[in-house]
Amino acid sequence: MSTAGRPTGAASRASAGPEPDRLLTPQRLFRTVAVAEAITWALLLVGMVLKRVTETTDLGVQVFGPLHGVVFVAYCVTTVVVAVDQRWTIGRTLLGLLASIPPFVTVVFDLLAERRGAFGAWRLTTGPAERGVDRPVGWLLRNPVRGLLAALAVVAVLTGLALLVGPPVGS
């Protein structure tokens, strides 16, 4: 205890609530985006059934197709950021990216990665950027608001490029 009855040190940190690094851990961020990707896959599949099987409406594909595309790109960006921060191997990173292609596999990858201890605390929020690729990822993580805006800009640009290329094969 310090003057005026205010806690100091560990006591003041505990009373101030959880630290930002603990609110959004690499695993929590990854799981959130992986589940969102799986949910948008499910919605898109429902839309495809309504369009192709029941032939009632293509509204589901029109709405959930682009939504899934944006979340797909967000998952890929999140995978790269977490992979760099957690020092995943190239193999694990590629598996994480490939998990976004078949429906629902992002959730399976997340669970397997968790079981194998692939997620720890954020490394680049406080530690030095040792490799070239660590620098931009570390900046994103140390500047959360700017980092979020930068990540949204990357997702928007990549989604725009995907739209220029055209819809997936068989659409």
Domain layout of the chain by residue ranges: 23-164
- Contacts (Cβ under 8 Å, ≥6 apart) of 96: 79, 82, 83, 88, 109, 113
Compute φ and ψ for 58, nearest 5 degrees: -110, 10
The Cα–Cα gap between 96 and 113 comes to 9
Q: Nearest 5°: phi and psi at 89?
A: -70, 165
pLDDT at 142 over 70: yes
Q: Residue 23 — pLDDT band, cuts 50, 70, 90?
A: confident
Q: What average pLDDT does the chain have?
A: 87
User: What's the pLDDT at 92?
Assistant: 99
Q: Is residue 33 scored above 70 in pLDDT? A: yes
pLDDT of residue 19: 52
Residue 28 scores a pLDDT above 50: yes
- Higher pLDDT: 95 or 164? It is 95
For 97-110, what is the mean pLDDT? 98
Q: Are 36 and 71 in contact (CB under 8 A)?
A: yes
Note the pLDDT of residue 15: 43
90-98 and 59-86 helices, crossing angle to 10°: 170
What distance in Å separates the CA atoms of residue 129 and residue 32, rounded to the nearest whole number?
A: 26
Residue 1: pLDDT above 50?
no
Whether pLDDT at 18 is above 70: no
pLDDT in tens, 61-100: 999 999 999 999 999 999 999 999 999 999 999 999 999 9
